[in-house]
Structure formats: structure tokens, C-alpha cells
Structure 1
Amino acid sequence: MTTAYPLQWPNGRARTPSYRRARANFTSSFAVSRDNLIAEVRRLGGRNLVISTNIPLRQDGLPYASFRKIDDEGVAVYFTYNGEQMSFACDRWDRVEHNMHAIVKTIDALRGIARWGTGDMMKAAFTGFTALPAPGAARSWREVIGVGPDVRDLAVVRAEYRRRVQEHHPDRPGGSHDAMAELNTAFAAAEKELKQ
């Protein structure tokens, strides 16, 4: 399940490094951006909206409009559209309200595709925004190691596992203990399945 607070960034979605975040030319306040986002998702036909940020929540579950400066200004939005889970995420700008406003503009543009009579393009565009599994959701060993369902040779799996170890080892730039633990667990599951 995706939580609204703290920020739950979609798995696999690249983050903008904090030093590359820029000041936007948007003039929208946080409260207006939040309300516009809710309205835009509603106009689209989205349901079960979750706005995930590092801003504490009001009692109704929405982020407070008055908050102190936070370290991570990213915004992730999750909702159901035509029975499918969708997610939008933005951390390009140095203010939460500006990232939220950028998502509003994106959804409005996609709604425009439908309004202008090219709805088949809208469905194709939404394919890229399909929500990735919620953080903490278990991924299959094939997904973690990066092999397709047709691979049955343990040697092929081992080779891909070793290649990924080189990328994700904690001693390497960009590597982490969590990624290595996930890889090791996935390889153990692969060995168990393929040795049978």
C-alpha cells in the first residue's frame, strides 16, 4: 500500500539529484496546487487518489498547506484510472508546490489528448505512467536479476546475477546494501527453482 506521508517514490523511477533541482516560474501556492491536483485527477476520472510527500498530513489525510521547509521536495501521486494503478512523480523543482503543479499540468495535457479526439494516444501515453509496485512489495527473482520468463539455464541466471552484483555492490558508486540483499535473495530463489 502506498502511503501519503512520508514520501513513497515509485520504485524504478529515477530521482533528480538535489543539486540539479531548479526554481520554477510557477506562481501557484501549495494549497492551490494541492486542490488543483485533486480536481484534475477527478476530471480525468481517477479514483483512490494518494498524494505522497514529506509534508505532514491534516486529519482528512491531505498534506498541510502551511509547513516548514523540507529536505526532499518530491511529490508522487497514485490513483486508479480505468481499473489500472497509475503514478506520476516529480522532483525537478525546488518546491513541493511547484512539483505538484507540474503534475497538474501533465495530467491536464493528457486530458487534452482525449478532448482533442485522439483518445487512443492517451491510452498509449498512460502506459508509461502505470504504477510500479509499491515500495516493499516483493518482486520476482527474475525481475530482480533481470532475466525473462523463458530463461531456464542456471548458468545464464548466474552470469546476469554477477553482472548486477558489479553494478549494485555497496563498495561501488551507486551501490547499496539493500540492493545487494535483494539480489542475493533473488539468486537463492533462482537456484532453488532451477535446480529442481
Structure 2
Amino acid sequence: MTVEAYPLQWPQGWPRTPSHQQQRGWQFKQARYATPGQNWSGVTGRGLVTFAKARDQLYEELRKLGAGKVVVSTNHKPDRYGIPTESKRSVGDEGVAIYFQLKGRPMAMACDRFDNAAANMRSLGLAIEAMRQLERHGGGTMMERAFTGFVALEAPGKSWWDVLQVRPDATADAIEANFRRLARDRHPDRGGSNAAMAELNEARAAGLAARQ
């Protein structure tokens, strides 16, 4: 299974959460990692989950699980080691997908329940932590059954919304805006390539056709 950390590659067959049904990321205030009434930054009150903390906790849960060949796929560009780093600009689609191997089997999980990648990563981390609890308390077979639904049968293909880094229900305006943003980097005159620009043009055409 070949998967890229960037841009987001959503698992085939995994349902998407419509934009209007997404929840605010502040619902994942990190009381469990701070003193009562404080979030990760130490500021009293509600606050967004920090991207770096949620990412690091997700990788730690995957390590404890015994996962191998881990790829965390988002629309936030990774560093040179393939680790997602928070973008300073809006990425449109804040979903997070994770791919890994568990006991030789390819697995895939994804979350776009929240309106920011940090909360989606934290949600995935908590889900894995909960599954590990089954094994910790003697329920190894139950944990394996719990993961059965996450087996990745085939690698995801790039859809037009993956290429444009928008949600599948993106408006025509959002499609055009992200097309222009990405075209600045992918145009051959700006260090891109003809192939990259052709892919972007095809995705734009498919996206606008889907909005008609």
C-alpha cells in the first residue's frame, strides 16, 4: 500500500462528515494533560487542542499499539521526516487519515468530525488508546476484532478534492480559490511541472462539474 502524507489521502469507502455537521475543536480541551481548569498551554479556560501535542500523542499511541510503517496523512505539509507540521494558511479540508501495519496487516483510520486537524488527530489517538485498553485488561481477541473494520483493502486513489485540498462538498468558490493558491506553486514557471499543473487543471474541471 502506497500512501502519501501530503496531501490528505482519504481511505476508500470511509464516510465523510459534511461541513455543517462538524464540531468545534475546543471540545477536546486537554484536562487530562494539565492541572484542573487548564489547557495544554497552561491558560485557564477552554482552548483549541494544539496541533503539535495532538500529533505527538497520536504517534505515541500508535507506538504503544505496536504499529509499523505509520503514515499520518493531512493537508498540512510534513517536515523532511514526513511528520505533519501545522500550516499557517487555511488548508480547506482538516480531515486526518492514518495508515499503518498491525501484525502484518495494513490498517487505515480517519477522522473529520471536527473543524481542525488537531482535534481530529486527538480523536484518533483517543480511539486507539481505548482499543489498547481491551488488550491491557486481557481482551486481546476483542482488540483484534475491534480493529477488523480498519483493515485497508487497497490504497486510496487521488480524487479531485484530494488534489485541490478541499472537502468533497466544497463550493465552486472554494474550488477556484484553492486552485489559484496551489497553481502558484505547481505552475512550471514557478518551479512546478507540466504534470502537476495538468493534474490540478483536471481536478478543477471535475470539481466544478460536480457543482453543476
> TM-score band (shorter)?
0.5 to 0.7
Q: What's the CA shift for 1:133?
A: 1.0
1:81 matched to 2:102:
yes
- Per the alignment, do residues 66 and 135 of structure 1 end up closer, same or farther by CA in structure 2, a change over 3 Å counting? closer
Q: What is the 5 A alignment of 1:107-122? A: 107-122=128-143
Matched residues in 2 for 1:20 and 1:9: separation? 18
Match of 2:20 in 1: 19
Match of 1:127 in 2: 148
The one-letter amino acid of 1:18's match is S
Contact 1:55 1:67 in 2 (8 A): no
Matched residues in 2 for 1:66 and 1:15: separation? 22
Q: What's the CA shift for 1:70?
A: 1.8
Q: Deviations over 1:129-163 (max 9, x none)?
A: 111311239xxxxxxxxxxxxxxxxxxxxxxxxxx
Larger Rg: 1
5+ residue gaps, structure 2:
30-48, 159-205, 207-212
Q: 2:79 aligns with which of 46, 58, 61?
A: 58
5+ residue gaps, structure 1:
138-176, 178-196
How much is the aligned-residue C-alpha RMSD, in angstroms? 1.5
Q: Normalising by the residue count of structure 1, what TM-score does the alignment of the two structures yield? A: 0.67
Q: Deviations over 1:32-78 (max 9, x none)?
A: 01111111100000011000001111111111135322210100000
Corresponding residue SS for 2:145? helix
1:38 matched to 2:40:
no
Q: Deviations over 1:79-125 (max 9, x none)?
A: 00000011110001001000000000000000001001111111111
The one-letter amino acid of 1:19's match is H
Matched residues in 2 for 1:136 and 1:86: separation? 16
The one-letter amino acid of 1:128's match is G
Contact 2:134 2:143 in 1 (8 A): yes
Corresponding residue SS for 2:91? coil
Of all paired residues, the percent bearing the same amino acid is 47
Across the two proteins, how many residue pairs are aligned to each other? Answer: 138
Q: Deviations over 1:7-47 (max 9, x none)?
A: 00000111111121111311331000111111110000001
Matched residues in 2 for 1:106 and 1:99: separation? 11
The one-letter amino acid of 2:81's match is D
Q: Normalising by the residue count of structure 2, what TM-score does the alignment of the two structures yield? A: 0.62
The one-letter amino acid of 2:3's match is T
Q: 2:115 aligns with which of 86, 94, 103?
A: 94
Contact 1:75 1:90 in 2 (8 A): yes
Contact 1:50 1:77 in 2 (8 A): yes
Corresponding residue SS for 1:123? helix
Corresponding residue SS for 1:121? helix
Contact 1:12 1:132 in 2 (8 A): no
Match of 2:125 in 1: 104
Corresponding residue SS for 1:124? helix
